[in-house]
Amino acid sequence: MTISSVPDAPQFTIAPPRQETPFDSVRPISTFPELQRLPTQIPGLDTILGGGLMVGDAYLLAGEPGTGKTTLGNQVAFAHAAAGGAVVFATLLTESHDRMLAHLHDFDFADRSLVGERVHYISLLGSLQEGGFEELVRLLVETLRTHRATLLVIDGAGAARMLADSDFDYARFMHGLQARTALLNCTMMLLAGEREADVAATHVGGLIQLFNRPTNARDTRWVRVAKLRGSNYLNGQHRFAIGSNGITVFPRLESASAEAEAAWFQPHERLPFGVLGLDAMVAGGLQEGSATLAIGTAGAGKTLLSLHFLAEGARRGEQGLIASFNETPRALASGAGMGLGPHFDSGLVQSMWRPPLELAPGEWAWQLLAAIDEHQPRRLVIDAFSDLMPLFAIPERTALFPPALVNRLRARKVTTIFVLEIDAFASPSLSVPVQNLSATMDNGILMRTTELRSPLHRMISVLKQRQTAFDPTIREFTIGPHGISVGEPFDASALMTGTAAPSPGR
């Protein structure tokens, strides 16, 4: 059959119908469509997720009771509503809406003015019992359209599995609901227990797991992204905490830095200590942006040396920050002869003090980086870094954490002194109590006491200084009304053992 009724029309031949193949529905496309992100706006969580959730996808948030699922779901809902979105928060076999809102009362994110305006709470139990999954989907789709919702949260989603005739029916319900919400360009979060989540996990675009595990005498909260289609994410477990501002996630510093290039820049200046004898030993000061390990026994003068470093910077008008675990800001301000009190009062030098009790190292590190970004210090002291090491819930992280922290400090061009305490007052060997830490540092300064004919003497030596010639001589130093004074080379032998001997012939 030919078509010729139109003058000069091209001739077409209609071929007989052919048998369809499974590939007939696949159409060639010129580009891959780009998926949009929906940020959760939970501090740290979007970092783990690579920027947030994918708009139109379904996500399963799984965890045992008490792990924070409902808190996280509500926090995402209120944050999305505050940003201008509309949310439907549906419940199945959970606490009543009044009780849920009452439990949210003390959270800063819970804005009651958004409830009923941009955050809409509905119960699904009646519809599911009366009409089954079909009625439940109908109600949800109608509600989403009515409120033009861009986010759907279903709390207690695992309860639907208990009412399903089979796992297949439950999976088909999940698949159908996800298809309809995607057509509405609505992102879906399902909150369920670990045991009820295994069937649904296959059919969602992402699986986020919450854990609450005992660590020694305390419990620690962890979040893990087990699956996230179409997105790169930080794998492994990450600490999180629940406070008055809701959930805050602290990505493992080493995982968040894994793909970052090593921070390096050409240093232009040296930052002196303001201690004449020591500055001569380190060729005028520490290189800008370098990391220095000040290691020594208790009482050797490590903190005092660090205060010298901050005081000299303040004298030059440079911002300083000291992150301490034992010494309080008031005690540091009255440091011997440093005159730091007025600089603390003016804000030129600031203190970040956290007692080393149940502190999470990752949480502390992100707080430190936030303080640096806000205060913009040129000089930083961490006193003492060794106090942080026993607080790791996973001891293996102690070898990976310091390089990640040092790299981020270098990227901010902060010149840092890491104070590290060793317990051995007298020992023929010298070991750093943090694995691989000495290799991470640019410079190393040893401060130690040694016994010679009964009196204790303080000695200082430069063990390491990258890209710079330095004076490796062991010198004696004293502490007086105005701080540290470095003197002549120590006239003795076997100094590094802690029990020195007079030089031959003396």
Give the pLDDT score at 113.
Answer: 95
At 429, list the tokens.
């060997």
Collapsing DSSP to helix, strand or coil, 199 comes out as helix
Q: 9-68: per-residue pLDDT in tens?
A: 334 344 444 555 554 555 665 566 777 899 999 999 999 999 999 999 999 999 998 999
Averaged over successive runs of 10 residues, the pLDDT of the chain (506 residues) comes to 38 45 54 82 94 93 92 97 96 85 93 95 83 85 95 86 76 84 93 77 88 83 92 91 94 74 68 93 93 89 93 95 86 75 92 84 91 96 86 80 90 93 63 68 88 78 88 89 86 58 56
CA atoms within 13 A on the CB side of 259: 6
Q: 103-127: per-residue pLDDT in tens?
A: 999 999 999 999 999 999 998 887 7
Q: 471-501: per-residue pLDDT in tens?
A: 888 898 988 888 898 988 877 655 555 555 5
Angle, vertex CA 114, rays to CA 94 and CA 80, nearest 5: 80
- Residues facing residue 25 across a β-bridge: none
Give the pLDDT score at 175.
Answer: 83
At 181, list the tokens.
């919400």
Three-state SS across 462-482?
A: EEEECCCCCCCCCEEEEEECC
CATH pick for 270-502 out of 3.40.50.720, 3.40.50.300, 3.90.280.10, 1.20.58.190: 3.40.50.300
Report d(CA 115, CA 444) in Å as an integer.
57
CATH fold match for the domains 37-251 and 270-502: yes
Question: What are the residue ranges spanned by the domains of the chain?
Answer: 37-251, 270-502
Report d(CA 303, CA 420) in Å as an integer.
10
Type of residue numbered 440: T
DSSP letter (8 states) at residue 499 = B
Average pLDDT, the chain: 83
Give the pLDDT score at 335.
Answer: 65
- DSSP secondary structure, 173-230, as one string: HHHHHHHHHHHTT-EEEEEE-TTTSHHHHTTSSEEEEEEEEEETTEEEEEEEEEEETT
Would you say 156 and 93 are in contact if contact means Cβ atoms under 8 Å apart?
yes
> Which has the closest alpha carbon to 436: 401, 464, 394, 465?
401
Give the pLDDT score at 82.
Answer: 96
For the chain, the C-alpha Rg in angstroms (whole number) is: 31
Work out the widest C-alpha separation in the chain, in whole angstroms.
124
Type of residue numbered 325: F
Q: Give the CATH superfamily of 37-251.
A: P-loop containing nucleotide triphosphate hydrolases (3.40.50.300)
